[in-house]
Each structure stands twice: as C-alpha cells, then as structure tokens.
C-alpha cells in the first residue's frame, strides 16, 4: 500500500495507483500519444506488425519445442535448432514489443484499467524469463538447470499460474487446461526418434510443453484485451 | 447469394453465435492465435526454401515433419473462420477486406498446389543443396508475401473504413463490395 493525495487530503492507495497511474496519465497526454491517437493508420498497421511478429515468434518457438516433444526435425538436436531460431525469436519479440507499445500508446488509460492487459504483461514477463532463462538453458544442458535456472523457473511459473487463475473467463481457463493436459500427454506418449540418443528427457519435454503453454497464454490474454 | 446469406444470418445458431458472450470471442481468439501454428510454421519452411534458415536440414525432412503441423493449423483456421463467417455472413460478405483476403487465399492455395506438384516432386535433386531451384525460391517468396497480405487483410476487416454505408452509391468500391440497397444495408450494419 502507498499514500496518495487528492485535494490536499491524504488517503491510502495501491502501488499502481500511486506510481503507474500517474505515469499512464502523463504518457497519455504526451505528444507521441496524441500523434498515434490522431492517426488513422498507425494503430491498424502496428496491429498487423504485432500479429506477424507473433506468428514468426510462435513458429520459431514451436520448431524447437516440437523437436523436444518428438515431433519436429530429427536430424538436428534441439540445441542446434534453437541456435538457428534464436535470432528469429529475438527479432520477432523485439518487433512484437515495439508494435505492442505503439498500440498501447493509443489507449493507455483503457489499458491501465484492463485486467487482460496486466495478465498479458505478467504472462509475457513469465514467458520471456522461462524461454531465455530456463528453456534455452535446459535445451543446452539436457534439462540440467542449476540454481539460477530453478529460481527463474519458480518466478516464471508463478507468473503464469497467477495469469491463469486471474483469467475471469472459465472457458478460457478450460481451454488452456485442456491444452496443458494435451501437451502433457504429448510429452509423455509423444513419438520419439528411434535412436535413443536423440530422445529428450521427460523433464525437458515438460519444459518445452510449459514454454508452448506460456506463450499461448500470453497471446490469448493479449487477444482478450479487445473483448474486455 | 444475398438471399441465402440473409437467411443464414437469421438462423438461430448464427444469432446465438454472434450474440454469445464467451463462444464468439473464444472462436475469434482461436482463429487469430492459430496464426502462430499455421503462418509461423509455414514461414519456417519458406525460410528454409530461401536458404535463410535450417540450411543443414534437408528440405524433404522439414516439409515432412513440419507441414503436417501447418496443415493442422490451417484446418483449425478454416473451421474457426467458417464459424465466424456463419455468425456474421452479411457483414463479411460485403466487407472489401474479407473479399481481398479470399482472393489472396486463392493465390496462396494455387502456390501450395504448384509447390507440391512441380517443386516438391523434384526435391531429391537438391534436398540438401545450397543451390535451391528458382521455382522453389519463387514459391517461397509468393508464399511469404501472400500469407503476410492475408494477415494484413484479415486484420483490416475489423475497421469500418470501407463499410457499405460509407461508400458512395454506384461507385467502384460500392460495386466491388456488392453493397445492397439502403434497407438491407441497415441489416448489414446491425
């Protein structure tokens, strides 16, 4: 809790009301926000770039995770595939964040009061931490995470669980739960390469399944902003 | 066509779907999110064909392992897309961006057919080669461009810049959107 002031009177308020709301109000009245709001085309085109970068990011992430789960390219190790797609994921993520920020500047105050937006931000932070701090490390070391890896896994999974439980839509929760079960089953029963040396451990498979679910949760929460 | 879609628009399931609080957003979100599976994986295959990624992976391997996922994504997109159309047939039928999207979709489908019939049949000769035939590279470029344009057109469907009531009666865009007379136009707007 924090202390806010209104009409010279002090009252107890939340951290976000004290610090984030004034920042949103400030940026909402900035010249760049006005420019974006006044333009007929910036937000629609930022939306297109956002979608395309999400597609690229999703495709690149799936290439690695499907390989780990036993259904992707088998002539390369997951680490080799990850090295190929790493620049693609970084570029796509940068583009998605840039285009997302552009769209956000067009409706900052609406987003401040939008639970799906904060869910998306939480899930996005979790997905980035998990992908770059946990999954990539696990792929390189065949699921040996180390202390830092476990800490990051804990933080990112907490962020994801927070997002999942905060989803106000029961059907969205149900759909994600179904996906989680399907991916868990896929990790367990998934077709593996015949060569045992190419097979990923069950822990690595579960990490890849979690990676897919985290990115999908982020994208789903992002889409939900429009419906809220 | 107009009469059939007007009838479809008034069927109980169509009304229930477009007025649904949860199902419509869920179908729409699934349609949009499948982009990660469908367009994302197709981009990966195209990048391989252009020699920009996965150069050590045989083209035949990437098409046999990845394209089934692309097809699954496409199937999900078609099913959800048809349901979305069923919920608001008149709105989409008269939407210029929707029509553009369908046109580009035909080009993309034609390119896929060309790829399977002409390009993929001779893949053994250049499976792991860095010298990828021009036809394969051309097919990849057409594929990337057409799916980008489909995403552009799909996103723009949400905007009302070219809705019938905003188009000049008897104008070119009005004709291209097959805009109905003013009475039906009100129905479309609703």
Give me chain B's average pLDDT, please: 88
Establish if B51 touches chain A: CB-CB under 8 angstroms. no
**A175 and A202 part of one domain:** yes
Residue A202 lies in a domain: yes
* CA A140 vs CA A66, A87, A143, B69: distances in Å: 16, 16, 8, 25
- Nearest CA to CA, how far is A145 from chain B (Å)? 27
Contacts of A54 in chain B (CB under 8 A): 35-36
Residue B49 near residue A55 (C-beta atoms within 8 A):
no
B33, A62 Cβ separation under 8 angstroms: no
Residue A34 lies in a domain: no
Give the model confidence (pLDDT) of A44-63 as tens digits.
999 999 999 999 999 999 99
**What would the two tokens of residue B20 be?**
């649904």
Could you identify the residue written with the tokens 């926000």?
A33
Residue A66 within any structural domain of the chain: yes
Please check whether residue A23 lies inside any domain of the structure: yes
| pLDDT tens digits for range A130-178 | 999 999 999 998 778 889 999 999 999 998 888 777 766 666 677 677 7
Query: What pLDDT sits at residue B92?
Result: 93
pLDDT recorded at residue B187: 54
CA distance to A30, A97, A107, A108, A211, per residue, from A103 (Å) = 14, 10, 7, 9, 25
Q: Are residues A5 and A109 in the same domain?
A: no
In a domain, A47, yes or no: yes
Q: Which letter does DSSP use for residue B130 in this model?
A: S
Claim to verify: residue A64 and residue A170 sit in the same structural domain: yes
Cα(B122)–Cα(B114) distance, integer angstroms: 12
Residue A89 shares a structural domain with residue A7: no
Q: Would you tell me how many other CB atoms lie within 10 Å of the CB of residue A147?
A: 7
Residues of B in contact with A85 (CB under 8 A): 44, 53
Average pLDDT (B15-44) is: 91
Pair A114, A218 in one domain: yes
pLDDT at B43 over 80: yes
Domain range summary for chain B, segments of one domain joined by +: 2-159
Domain hosting residue A90, numbered range = 39-224
| Distance to chain B for A76, nearest Cα, Å | 7
- For B65-111, the pLDDT digits (tens) are 999 999 999 999 999 999 999 999 999 999 999 999 999 999 999 99
């Amino acid at each position: 809790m924090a202390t806010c002031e209104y009409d010279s009177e002090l009252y107890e308020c939340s951290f976000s009301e004290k610090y984030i709301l004034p920042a949103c109000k400030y940026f909402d009245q900035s010249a760049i926000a006005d420019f974006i709001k006044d333009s007929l085309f910036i937000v629609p085109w930022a939306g297109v770039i956002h979608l395309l970068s999400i597609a690229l990011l999703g495709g690149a992430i799936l290439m690695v995770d499907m390989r780990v789960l036993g259904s992707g390219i088998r002539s390369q190790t997951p680490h080799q595939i990850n090295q190929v797609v790493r620049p693609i994921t970084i570029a796509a993520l940068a583009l998605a964040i840039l285009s997302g920020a552009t769209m956000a500047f067009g409706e900052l105050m609406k987003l401040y009061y939008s639970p799906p937006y904060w869910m998306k931000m939480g899930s996005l932070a979790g997905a980035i931490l998990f992908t770059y701090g946990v999954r990539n490390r696990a792929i390189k070391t065949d699921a040996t995470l180390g202390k830092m890896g476990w800490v990051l896994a804990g933080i990112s999974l907490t962020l994801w669980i927070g997002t999942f439980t905060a989803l106000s839509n029961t059907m969205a929760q149900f759909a994600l739960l179904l996906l989680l079960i399907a991916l868990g089953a896929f990790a367990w029963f998934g077709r593996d390469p015949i060569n045992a040396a190419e097979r990923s451990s069950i822990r690595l498979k579960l990490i890849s399944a979690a990676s897919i679910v985290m990115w999908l949760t982020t994208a789903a929460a992002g889409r939900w902003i429009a419906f809220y | 066509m107009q009469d059939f879609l007007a009838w479809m628009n008034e069927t109980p399931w169509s009304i229930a779907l477009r007025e649904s609080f949860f199902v419509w957003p869920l179908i729409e979100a699934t349609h949009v999110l499948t982009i990660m599976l469908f367009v994302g994986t197709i981009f990966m295959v195209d990048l391989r064909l252009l020699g920009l990624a996965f150069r050590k992976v045989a083209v035949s391997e990437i098409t046999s392992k990845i394209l089934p996922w692309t097809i699954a994504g496409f199937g999900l997109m078609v099913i959800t897309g048809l349901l979305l159309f069923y919920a608001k047939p008149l709105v989409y039928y008269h939407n210029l961006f929707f029509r553009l999207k369908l046109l580009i979709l035909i080009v993309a489908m034609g390119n896929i057919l060309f790829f399977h019939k002409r390009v993929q049949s001779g893949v053994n000769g250049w499976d792991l080669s860095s010298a990828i035939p021009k036809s394969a590279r051309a097919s990849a470029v057409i594929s990337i461009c057409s799916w980008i344009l489909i995403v552009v057109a799909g996103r723009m469907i949400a905007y009302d810049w070219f809705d019938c009531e905003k188009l000049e009666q008897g104008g070119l865009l009005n004709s291209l959107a097959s805009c109905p007379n003013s009475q039906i136009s009100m129905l479309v707007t609703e």
